[in-house]
Amino acid sequence: MRRIAVVLGVAAVGAAVLARRARPSTVRPDEGLIVGIPAVYDRLASWFLGPLHDAIADEVAALADPGAHVLDVGCGPGQLAERLVARGLRVTGVDLDPGMVARGRSRLGDRAALHAADVTALPFPDGTFPLVISTLSMHHWTDPAAGLAEVRRVLHPAGRVVIWDLADGALPFHTRFAGPGPHITRSGLTLLTDRPFRWPGPVAALRRVDAVHADGPSGA
């Protein structure tokens, strides 16, 4: 039953995304360019993805040093960022959709720095972040290898990248995606682990990958 509920939830979230349709280039502040109604997406994601965000926030907090600066790529409306801040981490987030970023800023205020930006053109200096994470975002990237190369640029030489994303063809409303692992080696990163991430419950709908600089510490 839980699996059925999650699939229905994904369908609802997909409907919120598809609600964008054609519209003028100028949109109201409560609208998004990619997600049609960020407030609806936010509520649906809170209901269906809340336990996932809790689990990932716990894993990130265990990986990071206290107060570490974390970059959340594809931060959406800031639900995961909010949990990371609550665990004592310094968070910067980026998302392609300015409507989602506006929603995240209304949630977090000055507790995190959220930016509307493309993963292939991150507005940060080289080597800024000791930890870069991405959750359920990479399968939307037009060029995952180029996005990962830019992630590598802003990653500290001894830092780590951790990505949670769809397994191959795991969920509806998305084009075919082979999972995040195959894109890693084409980006100047070294893949450390690529394993199933069991969510929801016993269902391994996602994969979790860890990577470091190809010329960085292999055990970082």
Domains detected in the chain: 49-213 (3.40.50.150)
What global pTM score does this model have?
0.82
C-alpha to C-alpha distance for 170 and 178, rounded to whole angstroms: 9
C-alpha to C-alpha distance for 125 and 59, rounded to whole angstroms: 26
Q: What is the predicted pLDDT for the residue at 169?
A: 60
Q: What is the predicted pLDDT for the residue at 214?
A: 81
Q: What is the predicted pLDDT for the residue at 172?
A: 55
Structure tokens at 218: 């292999």
What digits encode the pLDDT tens for the residues 188-206? 899 999 999 988 777 778 9
Q: What is the predicted pLDDT for the residue at 44?
A: 80
Q: What is the predicted pLDDT for the residue at 109?
A: 96
Q: What is the predicted pLDDT for the residue at 162?
A: 98
Q: For tokens 């969920």, name the residue.
A: 171
Q: What is the predicted pLDDT for the residue at 16?
A: 41
Which residues, in sequence order, are CB contacts of 106 under 8 Å at separation 6+?
Answer: none
Mean pLDDT per block of 10 residues along the chain (220 residues) reads 42 41 39 58 80 96 97 96 98 94 94 97 98 94 93 97 84 66 89 90 85 68
Q: What is the predicted pLDDT for the residue at 38?
A: 66
137: how many CB neighbours lie within 10 A of its CB? 22
Q: What is the predicted pLDDT for the residue at 14?
A: 46
